[in-house]
Structure 1
Amino acid sequence: MEEQFKLTQEDVDILNTNKGIKAILSKEPYNLERALRYVKYEKKLKKLQIELIRLQSWAIEKNERIIIIFEGRDAAGKGGAIRRATERMNPRHLRIVALPKPSQDEKTQWYFQRYVNQFPKAGEIVFFDRSWYNRAVVEPVNGFCTPEEYEIFMEQVNDFERMITASGIRLVKIYMSISKKEQAKRFEDIKNNPLKQWKMTEVDERAQELWDVYTEYKKKMFQNTKKGTLLPWKIIRANRKTYARIASISHILKSIPYDKNKKI
């Protein structure tokens, strides 16, 4: 028998606010536990967003260059997490980069070059919604690169990241991890929502079928990073979007030694 959800007086006070009432009424059937969880999430998110503004102010003042990359399976919530992280920050000093497939000219260049072209200037933060790690997982799984190109990437990527950090750029790597069942559920939501259908690609359509192959290459990517003994991945369980967003922002704040007492 499931334990019945019990409200504390603090919970009642939270739900008896405009935000609490709105959360209760926003979705049927009404669910007090879900509404309470969402209001607490919003409160926590606001505090973290204030800290991100403080971090950004510090970065601007100190001419810091920061790269934050988000990787993960299709529909893992990378874009949503980036939006929550950046929505209160100064847009003049940040960029969100989600590169399309390479052009014919880019295919003839050094693989990393088009990503280097997007690197931050002094005082800027760049968020990559997928990054050079496309070649570690998405490309080999879907046949978008040759086995030789994949091997060259795996040999070069750790040295590439050493060069990035040695040049003074701060690099944070986040991997959003979801279950196969959750991915299928999110794909169904995308297909049934006219406002989201544009997100579905041919690669997405094959993601469930190729789940185990993705897993194999994902494991190789993590192992290669460990072998390089540099810049480990932060793996975030992302089946619950609100948890994943809080966890990813918290990790960014922990990873960069900004002035936590700086006035904003």
Structure 2
Amino acid sequence: MTETIAADGANMRKLIDADLQDTLDEEIEMELDDHRLQTLQGETNARDADEGMDRQQYFQELLRLQGELVKLQDWVQHQKLKVVVIFEGRDSAGKGGVIKRITQRLNPRICRVAALPAPNERERTQWYFQRYATHLPAGGEIVLFDRSWYNRAGVERVMGFCTEDQVEEFFRTVPEFERMLVRSGIILVKYWFSITDEEQQFRFMMRIHDPLKQWKLSPMDVQSRARWEQYTKAKEDMLHRTHIPEAPWWVVEAVDKKRARLNCISHLLTQIPYGDVTHPSVTLPDRIHDPAYRRDHIPEEMFVPKVY
């Protein structure tokens, strides 16, 4: 009996270790994606060979912060809070990377991402904020906007998709719109991811030469590269005119992707006071065995081929 218990314990330990390793591998896979093209000939020559922060430290801190995000999620759900986090920045600034790390361990029913496409013909005739308002959270939800209503102050303005009168109306309206959201009980946090001219050039070149990332580089992105200075002026105007006490902007220095992710998540955790939520203990019920039950045979052709 003792030997059986010991063997069962050893097997369970192996299963637990394997599960923990799988959790770590998920993050490593994402990191490999970030650095996969560093060996491409010629593309890294123009960039400083700064290795950034220690990878082991990065993983340890990321997993710790993700554990805190789970606690925050429980608190938001328990207290029926409404949270909106806006991620803005130039193309390739790293918004998607930090959003992935925030949502990686969270419940998608509680924390979801809103990444809206260009407005259709009907949406272009609506009140500008209308299509964004439909994605706002109910109690117990977190919504991460991967770009937001600030498209009007950025890409729409620079690319000529709206008039200057429409831009001015946006700047008149958005402070009151956001104050209204805050008065309604929404916790609103706004991040701008900042990268240098040289860093964007490097990241765009990576996307051009990477078949797994080429989908990220749209014709609009290429145009944005050519209009760097126009985007800079638009960004500066936007930050100046929409940085309000009720919903201030927070700038994330994002040239170093690892530090940017950790700094952003760490800061986000400070913006929403949260505590531990006590959960009832879970006890698995005893397995009910029916002596008359027999499993049906599943034909071999129904199984996925064992290629690996």
* TM-score of the aligned structures, taking structure 1 as reference length: 0.85
Q: For 1:125-147, what per-residue CA distance to the aligned partner results, in whole angstroms no more than 9, with x for missing partners?
A: 00000000001111100111111
1:121 aligned counterpart, secondary structure: coil
Identity, % of aligned positions: 45
Question: Does structure 1 residue 248 correspond to structure 2 residue 264?
Answer: yes
Q: Partners of 2:271 and 2:211 in 1: how far apart?
A: 38
Pairwise CA distance, 1:63: 0.8
1:1-264 → structure 2 map (5 Å cutoff): 34=51, 37-226=54-243, 228-259=244-275, 261-263=276-278
- Name the CA shift for 1:180/1:34 in 2 (closer, same or farther; >3 Å): closer
1:67 aligned counterpart, secondary structure: strand
Q: For 1:96-144, what per-residue CA distance to the aligned partner results, in whole angstroms no more than 9, with x for missing partners?
A: 1110000111000000000000011111100000000001111100111
Residue ranges of structure 2 left out of the alignment (5+ in a row): 1-20, 40-49, 280-308
Pairwise CA distance, 1:34: 4.5
Q: For 1:207-228, what per-residue CA distance to the aligned partner results, in whole angstroms no more than 9, with x for missing partners?
A: 22111110101011111024x4
Contact 1:135 1:153 in 2 (8 A): yes
Pairwise CA distance, 1:35: 9.1
Structural RMSD (CA): 2.3
The amino acid of 1:173's aligned partner reads K
Q: For 1:154-186, what per-residue CA distance to the aligned partner results, in whole angstroms no more than 9, with x for missing partners?
A: 110000000000000111101100001000100
Pairwise CA distance, 1:45: 0.5
- Name the CA shift for 1:129/1:201 in 2 (closer, same or farther; >3 Å): same
The amino acid of 1:179's aligned partner reads T
Q: Partners of 2:119 and 2:126 in 1: how far apart?
A: 10
Q: For 1:44-90, what per-residue CA distance to the aligned partner results, in whole angstroms no more than 9, with x for missing partners?
A: 00111011100000010111111011000000010011000110011
Contact 2:52 2:256 in 1 (8 A): no
The amino acid of 1:234's aligned partner reads W
1:239 aligned counterpart, secondary structure: coil
Contact 1:115 1:131 in 2 (8 A): yes
Contact 2:182 2:246 in 1 (8 A): no
The amino acid of 2:271's aligned partner reads S
Q: For 1:184-218, what per-residue CA distance to the aligned partner results, in whole angstroms no more than 9, with x for missing partners?
A: 10001011111110111111101221111101010
The amino acid of 1:59's aligned partner reads V
Contact 1:54 1:263 in 2 (8 A): no
* TM-score of the aligned structures, taking structure 2 as reference length: 0.73
Structure 1 runs of 4+ with >3 Å offset: 25-29, 33-36, 261-264
Pairwise CA distance, 1:242: 0.4
Contact 1:222 1:233 in 2 (8 A): yes
Contact 1:52 1:85 in 2 (8 A): yes
Greater radius of gyration (CA)? 2
The amino acid of 2:147's aligned partner reads R
- Name the CA shift for 1:239/1:35 in 2 (closer, same or farther; >3 Å): closer
